[in-house]
A and B are shown apart, each in its own frame.
Chain A
Amino acid sequence: MKRASKFFSDLSGFWRQYKRNRFAVLCLAFVILLASIALLAPWVAPYPPMRIGVAEVFAPPTAQHLMGSDNLGRDVFSMVVFGARTSLFVGFLAATTSVLIGLFVGSISGYLGGWVDDLLMRISEIVLIIPRFVLALVLAAIFGSTALNVIVVIGLLSWPVIARVCRAEFLSLKEREYVLASRSLGESTWSIIFSEILPNAMPPLVTAGTLQVGAAILMESSLSFLGLGDPNVPSWGYIASSARIYIFQAWWIIAFPGILIFLTVLSVNFIGDWLNFSLNPKTRERGYGFKI
């Protein structure tokens, strides 16, 4: 009970800090709105997203078809509404996968040190040096481009950044008194890593994790744009992909999903930026440079 009230007082303190930037609040509102639209997609979309011929082919935006129609006469607005589902879902799960792997690798590496640290960091360097998107493309082409594969591929290739941030935190936290105290009390290594140090290492990891969501959404959309998204569900990249050929006939096919990807990634990145600022007492004192 006491813990819960502390959580809420922390949260309200955090919110007071967070809402100081109006643009950050706007970004958060946009992401929440988008998530609700994605959740309620069947009620928001006026047409079934993949049904062919609900409109004329290449109909420009009108009141009936807010974002026009594509080369098969599908309603772009309905596809975009359902696309929010795929893009957010894939982006969020891919980022979660990479954060989980990164947390695991980074905390073990930072806490244990020695040869384990050396080995894990060499591996993360190799993964970091591999051209991520190019490999993701190859993997999706070979193993098939289902949503699950795309999530796994992005997750498996994006963890080193998180691992590095996590490791750095662990290196500085593991020598603190409270850790030494738990160690001398005979607490197990796992328990020290996950229940003593990790909670205190969270602030920079929250930021890094948020940025991962933006990067994952961009990566998914790029894969889909090249025809490697899940062909059964519309994602924003997939909708835009048909415009590769019809680029001048129908600007709306590429523009609307493109702008939505842009706004989503912008919001997520800015939230991450602002979290970094408001969770970090060092930068908080200096004042944030960007305010609208």
Chain B
Amino acid sequence: MPAAHYIIKRLIQIFPVVIGMITLIFILIHLAPGDPITYFTGESNVDPQMIAMLRERFGLNRPLIEQYSIYLTRLLQGDLGYSFVHGAPVVQIVLETMPNTLLLIVSGYAFATLVGIFLGAESARKPYSKTDKIVIFISLIAYSIPGFLTGFVLIYVFSYLLGWLPMTGMVTVTGSSTGIGYVIDLLRHLALPAIAFGAYHLAFVTRLTRGSVLEALSQDYITTARSKGLSKNAIIYKHALRNALLPVTTVVGLDISYNVGGAIIIETLFSWPGVGRLMFNGITDRDYPLLLGSFFFLAIAVVLIQLFVDILYTYLDPRIRYK
């Protein structure tokens, strides 16, 4: 099974990344100004007895290397610290909100990738035509616009002026609808933040698909397809796009590590109850364990999404599978 072999190889490659991230968090805790305890408790009032207990528990009077092993052990036990602001373990708080963030990221990405591929392919159909220019111009705009402005314009136009979609939150608080009504309510809340989140990615995918399809269209097998008398649609969507999608897939995976940050802005703006908004609250509360815990989980999510994209890639490109 060459594909399984490849996936195992990728899993092994991920290992140093995760270790690197864990070590980075440890270093951050110790580099932070002040005693690590004030760092853990933030600026909330914690009584001295509690501090002594924490000091004991984290072994802060021991050598650094020993502290590192204590830290690793705690991490393996699923202990990422305690948020005094929320009065709950960080892991529990983050895991509760993580599905909401994943919903936002995945739907925003799905929307942006699909529309981006379509726009890019249509743009490449007739390079330098009017459609092409409009598509390039829109993608250039979406590429340069700050996330909060996109979000603000969407809220202002579609919620405030037109009143078509709800402004903030994830579900209507008063309505206790279930089943299909709940799903529709959720989708109505999801639409704007997902579009705002996906805008940058949409621009990226569009540019990339356009270039990639144009490149593919100049290949010999396209000339063959054309001489067989295939329609332009069949050539673009069946022959060129399939090969053009390979580089797009790679970049979609790489891009996620950059884009995940956008989720924080979007969640804050739309009061979407996800990890991003949790982090924003963590900044104002100076709740450092929560901030680092959220960072850890988002980083892990990025690594896993990239792995998933990689696996997808092996199915799209037989050349990798049989290498």
Residues of A within 8 A of B (CB): 122, 125-126, 128-139, 141-144, 214, 218, 221-222, 225-228, 237, 240, 243-244, 247-248, 251, 254-255, 258-259, 261-262, 265-266, 269-270, 287, 289-290
User: Is the CB–CB distance between B303 and A129 below 8 Å?
Assistant: yes
B137 within 8 A of A: yes
What B residues does A237 contact at CB under 8 A?
A: 146
Interface residues of B in 106-161 (CB under 8 A from A): 127-128, 132-133, 136-137, 140-141, 143-149, 152, 155-156, 160
User: Is the CB–CB distance between A261 and B28 below 8 Å?
Assistant: no
Quick one: closest B residue to A270, CB to CB?
Answer: B140
Give bound CA distance, A135 to B260, whole Å: 11
Interface pairs A-B: 8 shortest CB-CB? A133-B261, A258-B149, A266-B144, A265-B144, A131-B260, A126-B20, A262-B145, A142-B32
Quick one: closest B residue to A240, CB to CB?
Answer: B148
Please pick, from B149, B156, B295, the residue contacting A261 in the complex, using a CB distance under 8 A. B149
Give bound CA distance, A182 to B146, whole Å: 47
Q: Known pairs A125-B17, A130-B257, A265-B145. 7 more at Cβ < 8 A?
A: A129-B17, A131-B258, A134-B261, A137-B291, A138-B295, A255-B152, A289-B132
Give bound CA distance, A141 to B278, whole Å: 14
B312 within 8 A of A: no
Nearest CB on B from A140, distance (A):
8
Quick one: closest A residue to B256, CB to CB?
Answer: A131
User: Is the CB–CB distance between A258 and B146 below 8 Å?
Assistant: yes
Determine chain B's interface SS by DSSP, over half rule.
helix
Give bound CA distance, A131 to B144, whole Å: 19
What B residues does A254 contact at CB under 8 A?
A: 148-149, 152
User: Is the CB–CB distance between B299 and A131 below 8 Å?
Assistant: yes
User: Is the CB–CB distance between B20 and A134 below 8 Å?
Assistant: no
User: Is the CB–CB distance between B149 and A139 below 8 Å?
Assistant: no
User: Is the CB–CB distance between B147 and A222 below 8 Å?
Assistant: yes
User: Is the CB–CB distance between A134 and B283 below 8 Å?
Assistant: no
Please pick, from A129, A132, A133, A225, the residue contacting B148 in the complex, using a CB distance under 8 A. A225
User: Is the CB–CB distance between B262 and A226 below 8 Å?
Assistant: no
- Contact A143/B32 with A126-B20, A129-B17, A130-B21 known, Cβ cut-off 8 Å: yes
Q: How many residues of B contact A (CB 8 A)?
A: 55
Determine chain A's interface SS by DSSP, over half rule.
helix
User: Is the CB–CB distance between A222 and B261 below 8 Å?
Assistant: yes
User: Is the CB–CB distance between A227 and B148 below 8 Å?
Assistant: no
User: Is the CB–CB distance between B288 and A141 below 8 Å?
Assistant: yes
A243, A248, A258 interface centre (most CB from chain B within 10 Å): A258
- Contact A226/B264 with A131-B302, A142-B288 known, Cβ cut-off 8 Å: yes
Nearest CB on B from A216, distance (A):
12
B87 within 8 A of A: no
Give bound CA distance, A221 to B265, whole Å: 11
User: Is the CB–CB distance between A289 and B136 below 8 Å?
Assistant: yes
Interface residues of B in 1-44 (CB under 8 A from A): 16-17, 20-21, 24, 28, 31-33, 39
Give bound CA distance, A128 to B140, whole Å: 23
User: Is the CB–CB distance between B295 and A134 below 8 Å?
Assistant: yes
Nearest CB on B from A76, distance (A):
15
Give bound CA distance, A266 to B20, whole Å: 35
Nearest CB on A from B310, distance (A):
12
Quick one: closest B residue to A144, CB to CB?
Answer: B33
What A residues does B284 contact at CB under 8 A?
A: 227
User: Is the CB–CB distance between B132 and A134 below 8 Å?
Assistant: no
What B residues does A222 contact at CB under 8 A?
A: 146-148, 261-262, 265
User: Is the CB–CB distance between B298 and A131 below 8 Å?
Assistant: yes
What A residues does B132 contact at CB under 8 A?
A: 289
Nearest CB on B from A21, distance (A):
13
B268 within 8 A of A: yes
B246 within 8 A of A: no
User: Is the CB–CB distance between B128 and A262 below 8 Å?
Assistant: no
Interface residues of B in 41-93 (CB under 8 A from A): none
Quick one: closest B residue to A122, CB to CB?
Answer: B16
Give bound CA distance, A46 to B140, whole Å: 33
